[in-house]
Amino acid sequence: MDSRSEIREFLITRRARLTPERAGLPDFGGRRRVAGLRREEVALVAGISVEYYTRLERGNAAGVSEAVLDGISRALQLDDAEHAHLHDLVRAANASPGTARRRSPARAQQIAPSVRQMIDAMKDVAVVIQNGRGDIVAANGLGQAVYSEMFLQPLKPPNFGRFVFLDPRSQDFYLDWDEAARQTVAILRSEAGRAPHDRSLSNLIGELSTRSATFRTLWASHNVREHRTGRKEIHHPLVGDMALSFEGLQVTSAPGLLMLAYTAEPGSTSHDKLQLLANWTAPTSHENPIQEPAQPDSVAHE
């Protein structure tokens, strides 16, 4: 990625979404030539000169301090993910030419045996472990059962981006596909800021951009997001609709990997369905593909 261009587009899109009223500034009316705040308004709220802010928005991040970035973050009302992304972009732009030419260290693709044992022991929790590109590098039996549609992808390892944008099954799997698409792109945007020289990530983004007009549109929005906690509403092909909560935890023994643990509210229909999947997959080794069991009428026809 071109770090200067990324800084420019990110700041412009963040500035365009704010109004003077939201920024705590007076609006004297009249026609505004730009959407959102003007550069001078951002500079005013950030406590820096217009020239300084203009230089940064044009992609020149040389010598920009942490304090200045923090001021701009406050002025543009960036959330935690956006704040971190801005710092990542500036860090990449200020990297030495030699560093910039070197590819980022490869993200971990394997988990330690102790981690494998831990997730396999979590019989009633669906667990998948993914890298920053959205590749599933490990899953326990229930995690594989919940995301069984993803494991049908011909390319291995299964990838969330490819599933959402290139696999028609995702349209039925996610009850709110549009939101799933926005989240997927925002997570990939965040990873691109952290690892701008990751060739595999660049190839994935290029592939999705070439093959999906929706991905191209969402990528241009420059929205970012961290995959920490949330809720997934899915339609599983065997048990029907489920609402699952998830928590994301970094795998400390494998930098770059994120463990996602999915549960359902106790006593809910989703909990019963998740338990049914757990019972079905209990004897299944993680090394074998999921076998589709017979569908009980009480569940399959809901």
pLDDT in tens, 269-285: 999 999 999 998 875 44
Average pLDDT over residues 245-267: 95
Phi, psi of 60 (to 5 degrees): -90, 100
Q: Given a cut of 50, is residue 295 above it in pLDDT? A: no
Q: What is the pLDDT of residue 110?
A: 84
Amino acid identity at 215: F
The pLDDT assigned to 283 comes to 57
Query: Can you list the pairs that 38-43 forms with residues at least 24 positions away whose Cβ atoms lie under 8 Å?
Result: 39/15, 42/15, 42/72, 42/75, 42/76, 43/75
Mean pLDDT of 56-75: 94
For residues 252 and 40, give the distance between their C-alpha atoms in angstroms, rounded to a whole number.
43
Alpha-carbon distance of 63 to 69, in angstroms, equals 11
The average pLDDT across 166-179 equals 97
The confidence score (pLDDT) of residue 139 equals 97
pLDDT above 90 as % of the chain: 75
Q: Which two tokens stand for residue 98?
A: 């030699």
Q: Would the pLDDT of 286 be above 70?
A: no
Q: What is the DSSP string of 204-223?
A: HHHHHHHH-HHHHHHHTTT-
| CATH 3.30.450.180 domain residues, the chain | 113-300
| pLDDT tops 70 at residue 68 | yes
The answer on pLDDT for 222 being more than 70 is yes
User: Could you tell me which CATH number the domain at 3-101 has?
Assistant: 1.10.260.40
pLDDT class of 33 with cuts at 50, 70, 90: confident
Mean pLDDT within 255-275? 96
Residues of the chain with CATH 1.10.260.40: 3-101
| pLDDT at residue number 232 | 95
Residue 49 to residue 62: CA distance in whole angstroms: 16
- The whole-number pLDDT of residue 3 equals 85
User: What's residue 108's pLDDT?
Assistant: 54
For 78-111, the pLDDT digits (tens) are 999 999 999 999 999 988 655 544 444 445 578 9
CATH 3.90.1150.10 fits 113-300, yes or no: no
Residues 284 and 290: beta-carbon distance below 8 Å: yes
Among 236, 237, 234, 238, CA closest to 294: 238
pLDDT attached to residue 133? 95
Calpha distance 2→280 (Å, rounded): 48
Q: What is the mean pLDDT of the chain?
A: 88
| Whole-number pLDDT of residue 192 | 95
Sign of the alpha-carbon torsion through 41, 46, 48, 54: negative
| Per-residue pLDDT at 300 exceeds 60 | no
Q: Is the pLDDT of residue 211 over 70?
A: yes
State the average pLDDT over residues 140-166: 95
Summarised one tens digit per residue, pLDDT across range 35-50 is 799 999 999 999 999 9
**Tokens for 300?**
């399959």
- The predicted pLDDT at position 105 comes to 46
- Residue 30's pLDDT band (boundaries 50, 70, 90)? low
Listed range (161-165, 250-254, 278-282, 293-297) with the worst mean pLDDT? 293-297
C-alpha torsion 183→188→194→199, nearest 10: 170
Which tokens in the block code for residue 114?
């102790």
Query: What is the biggest distance separating any 2 CA atoms in the chain, rounded to whole angstroms?
Result: 69
**pLDDT number for residue 298:** 37
The pair of structure tokens assigned to 212 is: 């999906």
